[in-house]
Structure 1
Amino acid sequence: MTTPYIDGAPETAATGPLIVSGLDGLRRAVGAQLGPTEWLQIDQARIDGFAAVTGDHQWIHVDPVRAASSPFGSTIAHGYLTLSLCNYFLPQLITVEEISMGINYGSDRVRFPAPVTVGSRVRGRGEILECTDVPGGVQAKIRITAEIEGSAKPGCVVETLNRWMA
């Protein structure tokens, strides 16, 4: 697997994460297209586990028999489960080297255009939208899209705010 590096103009990561060198490399990466990641299958055990941790046991997520008669034909992943997978995809999309740490700072926009049905496969794609200097580091806004295999619409699109510190 080859991994693209950026030390000049943005490049598209075809396989593996885009690797940037330090905060200057991150600043130069604005506009870079990231991914896609490998596919991840969404099974009922993952959905049930998310329900157990969050306390969200709505039948459309955890009752396969009842959900079979729903408009979706099966259980669906929680929207926030799909959102949380965007953080799972992030290190598969970009690695920033020569920093002390990276932290999640928040999100500017989150949408769930299509339901993720049990048994679906999802993967991440990204784009570095902007970088802003913050005390001690750089804040990057990265749009992450959780694509659903075979679907014209994604399961989630989020503009994440991530901080990488010197």
Structure 2
Amino acid sequence: MFEAREGEIALAEDPGAMAGDARLVFIGRIRSPWNTRADCPKNMAAARTAGLPASVEIEPRYRRGLGGLAGTSHVVLLSWLGSAPRNLIVQKPRHASEAKGVFALRSPARPNPVGLHVARLIALDEAAGLLTLDAIDVLDGTPLLDIKPYFASIDSFPDAMPPRHRDAP
């Protein structure tokens, strides 16, 4: 399924096969136009360029948790990227010239494949548990772990840079 690239290093034990210490539940599913990894955008910027909306379906028992979310412009979604390998600790992305540690990358392949997505909230139907989003960069049916409102006043850092720019003059 996933072929190792030059410079990649796998863990001795696959975290996906280890006994878990968290009791996570899926609160819903993300509905997207993407059915294969080949079609799925690699990030939210690419997903927005595609111009295809997405949605989130919340399980009935969690729908009351949507109260107060109406009027929010953007949401942070935490998803479970369960199809991603969990044993790579050093990876070499296709577009990169060198391998990097998993914690310096946004790759879904990581010990705990939690996805982080900031999306514009287009519509919210609390009773039906349906959120309509501007875009998403995950496969259709991806499990949802959590939703949080995005606050530009505390979540945005205009001077933030990815690791490769830290040492640049």
User: Which bin holds the TM-score, normalised by the shorter protein?
Assistant: under 0.3
TM-score (norm 2): 0.25
TM-score (norm 1): 0.25
Higher relative contact order (CA 8 A, sep 6+): 2
From the two aligned structures, give the one with the greater helix fraction: 1
From the two aligned structures, give the one with the greater strand fraction: 1
